[in-house]
Structure 1
Amino acid sequence: MEFTSSSAMWLAMAILAITAALTKIALGGGRRRCLSESSDLTCKTPPPPPVVNCIALLGLLPALFRGDVPATMQQLYAKFGSVFTVSVAGLLKATFLVGPEVSAHFFQGLESEVSHGDLFEFTVPMFGKEVGHGVDNATRIEQGRFFAEALKPARLRIHVDPMVQEVEDYFAKWGQHGTVDLKHELEQLLLLISGRCLLGKEVMGTKFDEVCNLFRDIEGGVNLMSVFFPYTPLIPSNRRRDMARERLHAIFSDIHTSTHTSVWTGARLLTHEKFLAAAVDEQDQIVRKHGIINGRIVTDHYGFLMEMHMLHICIKETLRLHPPAPMIVRTALRQFTVRTREGHEYCVPAGHTMASPIVISNRVPYIYKDAHLYDPDRFGPRREEDKVGGKFSYTSFGGGRNSCVGENYAYMQIKAIWSHLLRNFELKLLSPFPKTDWSKLVPEPQGKVMVSYKRRQLLPTS
């Protein structure tokens, strides 16, 4: 049976079990790598973190039944503080680190101290044994350098013109007015953008439908069941994933998260009139500044998009509230000490799974004022709450040695889409604000996101 979002009971059980499973996997990978002397060390002073046992976890079941993962984590944070260990049956343990003060080692520790372990084994059937976690660490680092080099700002410029062209061509097919599922439309568009940038216009022009179908089959393999049983052919989504991988040799890993962030950005803007108006006004000002309204042609789309500071912080605030990865997990290969904001010190033992719950760290109240509210101005020049909070206060794209190399590319894609939409259409959200589907490893807006549109007086970018 496939795991579905409609089953609250299975959702509660899966979230409880996944912590145990991830810890068990990490312990297996971490212990094999730990030096014998590290394994023998014990934490006498300072003490280990406070432990959340199974009895305490039972009190969280109501929130889990509602599918409210942030509320569950928030309860633990409020009760136990910024460092605590979840113990499953007293055997498997995962230590949670919340906030910038206790996150430095998690994000900056050396590979010999902090490791992914075997936690991402489930991605191997998706992407193949030749890339990512299907290869040894040295090869994976070299592959990472290749991607990082390709996505540096200087090289990113060459992708922006094709992005903008795909955006303009796609929305040119919309009528004067109508109703669309924003989630479906942006998924299609981002497939076109990534296909154009990664495969070329000629390939996508003849293979778009096939690529869309294959990608959906691979994306369907990203579910909780694939974490537990990544190789079994008994799960239908695993079989479809494997067949699609054999035919699709280029996997667009950025599409998954960029689509969701683009939809969340639209849903947030269309339910916050103040920031929607500010973003539209910024578009008008930039267009008039460059004289585009009089028919001039933009020759530097990269610079044009870089001027959109209001739109940038709107996207950034969306990512704070809806991070692509709600939690990042590592394995502690050696024990280490953390010091909390309150001055408490704890020793995290070697072999523990470490978890950084970004969905909570991005909402700590002593860094973010009214953290539950959508307020892009918190990143504006007069507040800059993330900078005031210090390093690792904002970790939607990870941090330290494990920062996402595609951050700038993702911002460019989303800016290219929403700058065009804001300039050229009046939009209205018809659906209720979407709930989060927490049954997916990459949480996404649940269901359709229906939007009505009406064309404005055209303000082109080229």
Structure 2
Amino acid sequence: MANTSEYFSLTSDSWAGFIADAQSRLSASPRLLILALFNIPLVAIALNVLWQWIAPRDPSLPPVVFHWLPFVGSAPSYGNDPLKFFFECREKYGDVFTFILFGRKVTVALGPKGNNFVLGGKSVALSAEDAYTHLTTPVFGKDVVYDVPNDVFMEQKKFVKVGLSTENFRAYVGMIEQEVSDFFRRDPSFQVFQKNTTEEWGSFDVLKALSEITILTASRTLQGKEIRQSLDKHFADLYSDLDGGFTPINFLFPNLPLESYRKRDVAHAKMSQFYQDILRKRKEGGSEYEHDMMAALMNQKYRNGRPLADHEIAHIMIALLMAGQHTSSATGSWTLLHLAANPDIAEAVYQEQVEHFGSGDGHFRSMSYDELKKLPVLDSVIRETLRLHPPIHSIMRKVRDEVVVPPSLSAPAEDRSFVVPKGYYVLACPAVSQVDPRIWKNAEEWDPTRWSDPEGAAAKAYTEYNDENGEKIDYGFGLVSKGTESPYQPFGAGRHRCIGEQFAYLQLGTIIATILRHVELRLPGPFPAHNYHTMITLPKEPRIIQYRRRHRE
């Protein structure tokens, strides 16, 4: 019994010690957890750095940009200022290198030759659909743009091109002029203008104003009468929710359980139905309509004889609305900011209007499409703005089959070819070649006069972009300029070159000319920096422009 009692006594003591030790460990666990939270990332970073130093490099692959953070890679540097990042990488690695972007391996090819390598590559090897469909399909919709094989997308571009006819353009100029003038007379930002005084200065947020003007003018012309008449708060809310799904985070992480993603999907369904309802009424003969883009699409058929389905037309219309609004409002904003910062050039644009369209009493007659194309000062201002501020700085393709980067693109010290493996992305950055000091004189300076020098880099680049000395290419939507070897590519190049380029020039030219007819501009503060955290490169806040009415009406 004594032994039994001793046994139980020892057992009891052991359990008491075990419990006390467990309690001590539990009380220390928060500290251990905190230490782990600090130390595990540090260990991961250390291992990532060590691996980059000691791991044997495959000489057939492009050099990889050094990065501290595993998985994240160079995303912070690229995301905050891609041009600065690329220029710094070029100094270290040459024109071809790979960087890590949230687990993706992205091989960059810089310069005109790099642009040609990526944008002039064969679609069977370098796929735009694989690179972008997860971003564009939820916004634009199924069965259009990057949600279809490349040959089908090329057919759809051909259908859109029918609606972008010269005949339609001639009708659009007056519509755009009227929309801009009406906007000045009713928008709260232009109350000083509405006072009919030429003495007082007012102010407006240029991006906000241009965003509204762009969507008004696009809806009045390309989108059609019914869409223009429906631009109320409900439509604006739908557009805003849809636009909220077209951001860098949607590109990088397409399936997050966020409210903005849910709103995007609801807005797309409602907007798609909105367009399809209009189509149904048109087909039933219940409404009269102009020969707008929707009318053009209703009459098109694929090569196999199948007409476009209603949802395909609706989704193409959504794509045109979203893509065109972003790029034109951004370019229009940058243009007005530069004109406000350079009143002498703004005055030159105004005097060009007076010379061609002035009536001598401070009033103007309407422009025509053919006349608009023959205004060298206005044209140079828009071209130069697009050179410094292309709406899209990076253009990606996903590699379906490994591709060889020719020796002419590798670093000078490594005159050999690289291989980009299947599953990588390749990236062209025309924005780099458009401000490359090796190509352009005073590359960072906004100087529209460079476009009037027939022997300068601008004239040469523009000739190369439009293949004025070569043959046009038909990718499936009619003959177009390839332009992939030009250092100036504001509307992309190759098979994915924007077919709305001519409409964009028409829209921007008419908007800028009409605004300068109405008001003088000045910039009250420093010139805004680039905001690279958006899909389209926008001016950062504050982006306020001051204005004063030019004349009484």
Query: SS of 1:427's equivalent?
Result: strand
- After TM superposition, give the deviation of residue 345 of structure 1 in Å: 4.0
Q: In structure 1, what is the Cα distance between the partners aligned to 2:391 and 2:264? A: 21
Per mean C-alpha deviation after superposition, the further-off stretch among 339-348 and 368-377 is: 339-348
How high is the TM-score relative to the length of structure 1? 0.79
- After TM superposition, give the deviation of residue 117 of structure 1 in Å: 4.5
Query: SS of 1:284's equivalent?
Result: helix
Larger radius of gyration between Structure 1 and Structure 2: 2
Per mean C-alpha deviation after superposition, the further-off stretch among 417-426 and 148-157 is: 148-157
Query: SS of 2:521's equivalent?
Result: strand
Q: In structure 2, what is the Cα distance between the partners aligned to 1:53 and 1:331? A: 22
1:330 counterpart residue number? 397
2:268 counterpart residue number? 245
Superposed CA deviations along residues 26-65 of structure 1, whole A, max 9, x for unmatched, are xxxxxxxxxxxxxxxxx98xx543332335999x989839
Alpha-carbon spacing, 1:77–1:274, altered in 2? closer, same or farther (3 Å): farther
2:516 counterpart residue number? 422
Which residue identity lines up with residue 164 of structure 2 in the other structure?
L
- After TM superposition, give the deviation of residue 327 of structure 1 in Å: 0.4
2:293 counterpart residue number? none
Query: SS of 1:452's equivalent?
Result: strand
1:119 counterpart residue number? 131
- After TM superposition, give the deviation of residue 236 of structure 1 in Å: 1.9
Query: SS of 1:52's equivalent?
Result: coil
Cα contact 1:424–1:458 (8 A) shared by 2: no
Give the alignment partner of residue 72 of structure 1, picking from 60, 85, 88: 85
- After TM superposition, give the deviation of residue 346 of structure 1 in Å: 2.3
Cα contact 1:95–1:348 (8 A) shared by 2: no
How high is the TM-score relative to the length of structure 2? 0.67
**Is 2:387 aligned against 1:320?**
yes
- After TM superposition, give the deviation of residue 315 of structure 1 in Å: 1.4
Q: In structure 1, what is the Cα distance between the partners aligned to 2:106 and 2:75? A: 21
- Which stretches in structure 2 are left out of the alignment for 5+ residues? 1-57, 273-316, 465-484
**Is 2:144 aligned against 1:131?**
yes
Give the alignment partner of residue 442 of structure 2, picking from 364, 367, 370: 370
Query: SS of 1:454's equivalent?
Result: strand
Q: In structure 2, what is the Cα distance between the partners aligned to 1:61 and 1:141? A: 34
**Is 2:381 aligned against 1:358?**
no
1:452 counterpart residue number? 546
- After TM superposition, give the deviation of residue 447 of structure 1 in Å: 2.7
Cα contact 1:63–1:71 (8 A) shared by 2: no
Alpha-carbon spacing, 1:62–1:124, altered in 2? closer, same or farther (3 Å): closer
Q: In structure 2, what is the Cα distance between the partners aligned to 1:101 and 1:430? A: 41
Cα contact 1:317–1:376 (8 A) shared by 2: yes
Cα contact 1:53–1:88 (8 A) shared by 2: no
Give the alignment partner of residue 526 of structure 2, picking from 389, 409, 432: 432
Give the alignment partner of residue 244 of structure 2, picking from 202, 220, 228: 220
- After TM superposition, give the deviation of residue 425 of structure 1 in Å: 0.7
- Which stretches in structure 1 are left out of the alignment for 5+ residues? 1-42
1:273 counterpart residue number? 343
Alpha-carbon spacing, 1:278–1:114, altered in 2? closer, same or farther (3 Å): same
- After TM superposition, give the deviation of residue 341 of structure 1 in Å: 9.2
Q: In structure 2, what is the Cα distance between the partners aligned to 1:387 and 1:83? A: 27
Alpha-carbon spacing, 1:152–1:350, altered in 2? closer, same or farther (3 Å): farther
Q: In structure 2, what is the Cα distance between the partners aligned to 1:369 and 1:448? A: 29
1:272-291 equivalent positions in 2, closer than 5 A:
272-288=342-358, 291=359
Query: SS of 1:54's equivalent?
Result: coil
**Is 2:324 aligned against 1:260?**
no
Larger relative contact order (Cα-Cα within 8 Å, sequence gap ≥ 6)? 1
1:94 counterpart residue number? 106
Q: In structure 1, what is the Cα distance between the partners aligned to 2:252 and 2:365? A: 53
Q: In structure 2, what is the Cα distance between the partners aligned to 1:81 and 1:56? A: 23
Cα contact 2:244–2:260 (8 A) shared by 1: yes
1:3 counterpart residue number? none
- After TM superposition, give the deviation of residue 71 of structure 1 in Å: 1.4
Alpha-carbon spacing, 1:355–1:379, altered in 2? closer, same or farther (3 Å): same
- After TM superposition, give the deviation of residue 360 of structure 1 in Å: 1.2
- After TM superposition, give the deviation of residue 224 of structure 1 in Å: 2.2
Q: In structure 2, what is the Cα distance between the partners aligned to 1:70 and 1:437? A: 12
- After TM superposition, give the deviation of residue 349 of structure 1 in Å: 2.6
- After TM superposition, give the deviation of residue 206 of structure 1 in Å: 4.3
Alpha-carbon spacing, 1:136–1:101, altered in 2? closer, same or farther (3 Å): closer
2:183 counterpart residue number? 170
1:39 counterpart residue number? none
Give the alignment partner of residue 259 of structure 2, picking from 224, 232, 236: 236
Q: In structure 2, what is the Cα distance between the partners aligned to 1:97 and 1:66? A: 18
Q: In structure 2, what is the Cα distance between the partners aligned to 1:105 and 1:445? A: 30
Alpha-carbon spacing, 1:384–1:145, altered in 2? closer, same or farther (3 Å): farther
- After TM superposition, give the deviation of residue 387 of structure 1 in Å: 4.1
* RMSD between superposed Cα atoms in Å: 3.1
1:385-404 equivalent positions in 2, closer than 5 A:
385-389=457-461, 390=464, 391-404=485-498
2:117 counterpart residue number? 105
Cα contact 1:428–1:452 (8 A) shared by 2: yes
Alpha-carbon spacing, 1:341–1:100, altered in 2? closer, same or farther (3 Å): farther
Alpha-carbon spacing, 1:337–1:160, altered in 2? closer, same or farther (3 Å): same
- The count of residues paired between Structure 1 and Structure 2 equals 409
Q: In structure 2, what is the Cα distance between the partners aligned to 1:440 and 1:63? A: 14
1:30 counterpart residue number? none
Query: SS of 2:522's equivalent?
Result: strand
Which residue identity lines up with residue 372 of structure 1 in the other structure?
E
Q: Percent identity among equivalent residues?
A: 28
Query: SS of 2:341's equivalent?
Result: coil
Give the alignment partner of residue 232 of structure 2, picking from 208, 211, 214: 208
Q: In structure 2, what is the Cα distance between the partners aligned to 1:340 and 1:62? A: 24
